[in-house]
Chains A and B, each alone.
Chain A
């Protein structure tokens, strides 16, 4: 942090404190004041465990920690977040090592007008052209630092404008991001639509990034002629009625040669469509998504962070330990995806539905490569410095990236016993998704039983059994977990995942774990002792690699 930044913060702090005694110099400052915040401490005490490939950690203990402080008075809000990484926990980027206060903002709201100066999070539509967000567990934080204005000029119109630089750990990205977005509620704008049972929403946005030209040499004697300003546009249309809903968004990005797309000059595009029919106790959803060359970063040569947009994968996010072993993430360079889902409730107090009803969810997703065609007879597909290739909307290629058929049935058998059963059939292109060239597609069958039994009104025993069968990757796994909870404060669990089918006989390992949690109001402390398998943690299709580790994990969270 520079001296100048320190001075600004000091000024904010002092003004916050003295605003009250001086008393409302503007009407917006009237009203009660409030200081609130939250806090999380993640610490891990490591123990070397050569059996699972967990190396010695020099510091012995590592920690990630944040504390948010939020001050509100009337229409005025200010906030800041301290972050500490001493040193960063294994599996997180090591760049932010140390202590800092990267996030700070002031916002003022008056009637239909809102201004934020400093750090802010924002999303246009589904995020296909802009999404600034944070996810602590993933180590993702790409807030924009700059200025945001929101304005509602009339009922049914919402406008947003953003201008700033993305966070890059303790620093900023070299690129500048600017964007405007408009949302229209047609029913509020068109008189004859006011009473209609069908609601229509339309929206459009534009984002432009600027990054200075730089010298990148594809081959001796040549240099790329790089665009300094790269705009992206999107338009969306949503409909909803009492039993039908439709969501759509189209996004287009101008040519944006980068490390991710192999420095091709082809524009990018994405189309997302989703339709749902529903009534109480039944919903049927179908969606489709085309993605072509849509990586959009504020630095050309960045490979992991600095995403300006978000490309949501069209697959279900699984949450059980073994069902989450092979998670999918959108391939920004190109994919075609389809998904269907049915959720059905068999009514309670019927012969089949039982006393409490039976819940069934079936979901199927299919993702393939994009069918790329050469631009002419002389240029190989994807040749750097050219337009790369041609691809039509929803033209699916032959290469399978992902398949997921999953069914879940859940039913309370009686007052004390509840059973959930899940079956998954997966195909996972480990070569493309994890970048393991030459490895065959993983085909896995997974079965899960989750049985909950109530011993007393607040005491419950829960048992999970999970089984994963595959001939590829690390082979078969079995997992069992027993959890005992005393509501609302205590929880205890022990579990073991056993990689009994690993093709390497010395890799047939047990990953045992014991956990304990205590909650009081909005504060919670959780301890976990044991082994963590190497793997991928994903939220919203954004994934983080987690190395194998062994030891004690402590998490303390609190909000106030």
Chain B
């Protein structure tokens, strides 16, 4: 068993180095079927924002830091959109206990985000999300250029600053 694991790791490492020789490559959003908030099936490979950046935020109603983060961003979201053209897509990983409460919450709190529901966790697993909140910044080409987990007050400013840098053509992957 141990030999197999070792062999597997060596082979995959070799494979990755083979695949990643040369310049920095970013990956596109993987394909998974989720639901829109009005109940339609939606393939995540089709996420786009007319060539402008996207913030992808994984959250759930039971996650207090997620609720704090989305509430904090909501205060400035209109200005963010106007200034940078960014779109925030909030991906709820709530299970069927609370998926029916996602729409009432988003509406009741007057959030203007696009919301997707991932109750079976297919998109979460494809994006390797473990703990939430987990945010990704997607560039205009649909590539994942940055990610961060956890939230503390003030992080939202870092998020929008990175979007500004991205719009200015900077590489933000090391920030």
Q: A-side interface residues toward B, CB under 8 Å? A: 1, 6, 9-10, 13-14, 16-17, 20, 32-40, 68-72, 77, 79, 82, 99, 101, 109, 121-123, 125-127, 131, 133-134, 136, 158, 183, 185, 199, 201, 238, 240, 245, 247, 274, 276, 278-285, 287, 310, 312-313, 317, 319-320, 341-345, 356-357, 359, 361, 410, 412, 452, 454, 457-460, 462, 485-488, 490-491, 517, 519, 521-524, 539-541, 557, 559-560
Contact = CB atoms under 8 A, between A and B. Distances in A.
Contacts of A279: 107
Given A283-B103, A559-B128, A540 B95 contact: yes
Contacts of A344: 108
B157 interface: yes
Nearest to B27: A34
B19 A312 contact: no
28 contacts: A13-B7, A16-B12, A20-B15, A20-B18, A32-B27, A34-B27, A35-B12, A38-B128, A38-B129, A39-B130, A40-B131, A69-B12, A70-B125, A70-B126, A109-B31, A123-B96, A278-B103, A283-B103, A283-B107, A284-B104, A310-B95, A319-B63, A343-B104, A345-B109, A454-B153, A458-B154, A488-B150, A519-B150
A127 B150 CA distance: 29
A71 B12 contact: yes
Interface in B127-150: 127-131, 134, 146-150
Contacts of B129: 38, 559
Contacts of A17: 11-12, 14-15
Interface string B24-40: 01010011010000111
A176 to B, nearest CB: 21
A175 B108 CA distance: 44
Contacts of B148: 488, 519, 521-522
A158 B41 CA distance: 9
B84 interface: no
A410 B71 contact: yes
B130 A491 contact: no
Given A133-B121, A312-B95, A457-B157, A524 B108 contact: no
A557 B133 CA distance: 13
B98 interface: yes
B interface, how many residues as a size bin? 35 or more
A534 B128 CA distance: 32
B46 interface: no
A283 B154 contact: no
Nearest to A452: B153
Contacts of A69: 12
Given A16-B11, A487-B155, A488-B154, A559 B97 contact: no
Nearest to A73: B19
Nearest to B112: A280
B81 interface: no
A284 B154 CA distance: 32
Interface in B63-81: 63-64, 71, 75
Given A40-B130, A488-B148, A6 B98 contact: no
Contact of B149 (A36, A125, A519): A519
Contacts of A126: 96, 99
Given A123-B120, A285-B101, A454-B153, A345 B108 contact: yes
Interface in B16-65: 16, 18-19, 25, 27, 30-31, 33, 38-41, 61-64
A356 B119 CA distance: 32
A364 B96 CA distance: 18
Contact of A524 (B103, B110, B131, B155): B131
B110 A487 contact: no
